[in-house]
Amino acid sequence: MAATRACGAAANTSENIMSLKKALSVASPLTLRIVAECPVTKARACDLILPHSAVSTPVFMPVGTQGTLKGITVDQLDALGCQICLGNTYHLGMRPGPDLIEKANGLHGFMNWKRNLLTDSGGFQMVSLVELSEITEEGVKFKSPYDGKEILLTPEKSISIQNSLGSDIMMQLDDVVSSTVTGPRVEEAMHRSIRWLDRCISANKNPEKQNLFAIIQGGLNTELRKACLDEMTQRDVPGFAIGGLSGGEEKDDFWRMVTLSTDHLPREKPRYLMGVGYAVDLVVCVALGCDMFDCVFPTRTARFGSALVPWGSLQIKNKQYAKDFEPIDSDCQCPTCKRHSRAYLHALFKSDSAAMHHVTIHNIAYQLNLMCSVRQSIVEGCFPEFIRTFMKRMFPSRDQYPGWAVDALASVNITLE
């Protein structure tokens, strides 16, 4: 993975290593060094220095929900150039539970991942997964899908679990409301998230080793978002996430909330846009000022045989690939593309689960490479050009460019001809 490795290497020139060492010797478990800023858009390229290693941003973080990236070993993940990935507090808190993981030397020890980990608080599962019993000021009552028992997830409990997991970045427990919900519930959730942030900060037993990020809420309402931003940025947290988006809302509303958020987030702290993973969304949101992204999409879609490519995606299981003897992407340097053809993978999907792993590896490589190229172009001062080339490759013609993307890019001075 030459390209991605080079990205990581760029963060480690001798000059950088000196300041890295300096940074690590200071008590803060997070240091953000802005390496380059795009003069046209709001994009930045940074070195995010975390306890386990430096991370080059913009960065896409693959999701390994249950302490594993589905079907991929930690060595394979490392070889792809991944510097940080996700684990999920809700799932791991259920099985195998925080006590066992603590015994195993945290999630790093349990899954044997030597680089960085970010854990979500379990809040999103409130919207996505579980039959909700009740949300109160105290916390969220879930009904466990495994034994039907009721569990109360409070800010304190979420942080306690994340402390046991030992992740480098922890997320606050937020009162998550679906982005399609309107009305007073949105405001209630926003205010509560602020109160829960404070409780999370108090509950953090390892502030010198684990970074607690706040999550900006407020739905699709400008006033509420702004209010949340104003309040949360007063807290001394090492980073901010933009939450409550990427859940089925109109893209026109989505990008406006993203750019509003980055306008009011401090420059010198990382901005993490949660749940975003489609290539177009990533490129646009980098232009809008975001540094970190996560999404299950690339890895999940791989298991269904969907391979991501610069011009969209290939449904490998479709008949049309049965006799296609080209690799998924002839320009891709990933292990899958170097050895296997679309036709072989198409056939393998009928015989063995390894077919899924091949495509998973390719998709992770695609995402990481995309981010690497984005970063490189920001560093070299040609990000606007990169965006234009990217869009041209992705869409057959100008009139197929998504309207929201055109608008969003225009808002940061990028005109697509």
Partner 1 sequence: MAGCRMKLELSRVALGKGRLGVLKGLGKTGQLSLEVPGCLLHTHLGTVPHLTQDTLSTLSTLPSVTQITLSNIAEHQEVLEEFKDGFRKFAGLHDTVLYCALHDPATPCPTGHTTNKTVSVWGSGGRIELTVAKFMALQKAVKPDWYQSMADGETWQINTSHKRVRKSVDRSLAHLDECLLVHQKSQELEGVEVFGVVEGGDILEERVRSAKETAKRPVSGFCLDGLQTGSMDQALRTQLISAVTKELPEDKPRLLQGVGRPDEVLASVEAGVDLFEGFFPFQVTERGCALIFNFNISSNPELAVLEPGEDQETAGDSQHNGDLNPDDQTQMTSFEINLKDKRYQGDFRPLVEGCGCYCCRNHQRAYLHHLLVTNELLAGVLLMIHNTAHYHAFFSALRDALAEDTLDLLKRRVLGQTERKD
Which positions lie near partner 1, rule CB under 8 A?
66-76, 79, 91, 95-96, 100, 103-104, 110-112, 322-323, 325, 335-336, 339-341, 343-344, 347-348, 350-358, 361
- Least distance in Å: CB of 92 to partner 1? 9
User: What percentage of the chain's residues is helix, strand, coil (to nearest 5)?
Assistant: 45, 20, 35
**CB of 140 or CB of 337, closer to partner 1:** 337
- Least distance in Å: CB of 193 to partner 1? 29
DSSP assigned state of 35: E
Q: Establish whether 331 is an annotated binding residue.
A: no
- Least distance in Å: CB of 95 to partner 1? 6
Contacts of 368 (CB under 8 A, 6+ apart): 1, 4, 60, 80, 81, 82
Q: Establish whether 191 is an annotated binding residue.
A: no
Q: Establish whether 332 is an annotated binding residue.
A: yes
Q: Pairing relation of β-strands 239-242 and 211-216?
A: parallel
Tokens of 30: 């997070």
Report whether 100 contacts 329 (CB < 8 A). Answer: no
Catalytic one of 47, 281, 291, 294: 294
**CB of 13 or CB of 330, closer to partner 1:** 330
- Residue 362 CA to residue 294 CA, distance in Å, equals 17
Handedness of CA 370, 371, 372, 374 (dihedral sign): positive
- Least distance in Å: CB of 321 to partner 1? 10
Identity of the residue numbered 216: I
**CB of 336 or CB of 367, closer to partner 1:** 336
Report whether 209 contacts 28 (CB < 8 A). Answer: no
Q: Establish whether 121 is an annotated binding residue.
A: yes
**CB of 67 or CB of 218, closer to partner 1:** 67
Scan for tokens 């980098």, then name that residue: 286
Report whether 258 contacts 349 (CB < 8 A). Answer: no
Q: Establish whether 168 is an annotated binding residue.
A: no
Which among 86, 101, 74, 113 is positioned nearest to 165, based on CA atoms? 101
Tokens of 80: 């792809």
**CB of 104 or CB of 227, closer to partner 1:** 104
Angle at 54 between CA 52 and CA 60, to 5 degrees: 100
Catalytic one of 47, 120, 175, 281: 120
3-class DSSP state for residue 205?
A: coil
**CB of 67 or CB of 243, closer to partner 1:** 67
- Least distance in Å: CB of 210 to partner 1? 22
- Residue 293 CA to residue 276 CA, distance in Å, equals 6
Residue 294 annotated to the active site: yes
Residue 120 annotated to the active site: yes
Q: Establish whether 93 is an annotated binding residue.
A: no
**CB of 9 or CB of 354, closer to partner 1:** 354
Q: Establish whether 123 is an annotated binding residue.
A: yes
Q: Establish whether 139 is an annotated binding residue.
A: no
DSSP run (H or E) holding 409: helix 403-411
**Quick one: 258 exposed, middle or buried, by C-beta within 10 A (0-12, 13-18, 19+)?**
buried
Tokens of 286: 């980098």
Contacts of 22 (CB under 8 A, 6+ apart): none
Tokens of 68: 């594993």
3-class DSSP state for residue 135?
A: strand
- Least distance in Å: CB of 80 to partner 1? 10
- Least distance in Å: CB of 332 to partner 1? 15
Q: Establish whether 174 is an annotated binding residue.
A: yes
Angle at 152 between CA 149 and CA 158, to 5 degrees: 125
Annotated binding site: 120-124, 174, 217, 244, 332, 334, 337, 362
Residues with a known catalytic role: 120, 294
Annotated binding site for substrate: 120-124, 174, 217, 244
Annotated binding site for Zn(2+): 332, 334, 337, 362
